[in-house]
Amino acid sequence: MGLFDQVSGSQTLVKEAFSPAEAFVAITLAVTASDGYLSEEEACLIYSSLSRMKLFRSYPLDVMNRMLDRLLGILRRQGLDALFNTAKESLPHNLREAAFAMATDLVLANGILTQEEKDFLNDLYQALDISGEVAAQIVQVMLIKHRV
């Protein structure tokens, strides 16, 4: 049983659903903060990666900062499970593969892939209901991207 299988039955504490953009950002935060720590470098990498996406192009810096602050507050107060479960429930199906790709990209960005990160990505694609074939293609592309 994977990490998210264990917590999927737990009750989400977040009182309202996230917008599609918030859910996407929450997934990226959950991935980078899954080790219990979000460094300044990781936060900058998240913002840089998100700002290049069509979904976030029209978001001014102050709006992105408020969204990140709100989601980080939920992460600190209610924990990773509550943040992730609300994000998973709120994330539209058409953004799930992109969220997994972004998560994979962020995990591979530092050039080191731990067993915990492999396990997390394995659990993530299943929790987002992405086919194994598509998830493998995404991982393969991201491995190529980070090979250089």
Domain ranges of the chain: 18-145
Q: pLDDT by residue (tens digit) across 39-83?
A: 778 878 888 889 889 999 889 888 988 998 899 899 889 988 899
CA distances in angstroms from 61 to 45, 46, 103, listed in the order given: 14, 13, 21
CB atoms within 10 A of CB 12: 19
Q: How confident is the model at residue 119 (pLDDT cuts 50, 70, 90)?
A: confident
Cβ proximity of 107 and 135 under 8 Å = no
Q: Given this model, what pLDDT does residue 10 score? A: 45
- Cβ within 8 Å of residue 50, ≥6 positions away: 24, 25, 28, 56, 64, 102
How would you class 47 by CB atoms within 10 Å of its CB: exposed for 0-12, middle for 13-18, buried for 19 or more? middle
Element (H, E) at 62: helix 61-78
Q: Give me the residue label for tokens 């393969």.
A: 140
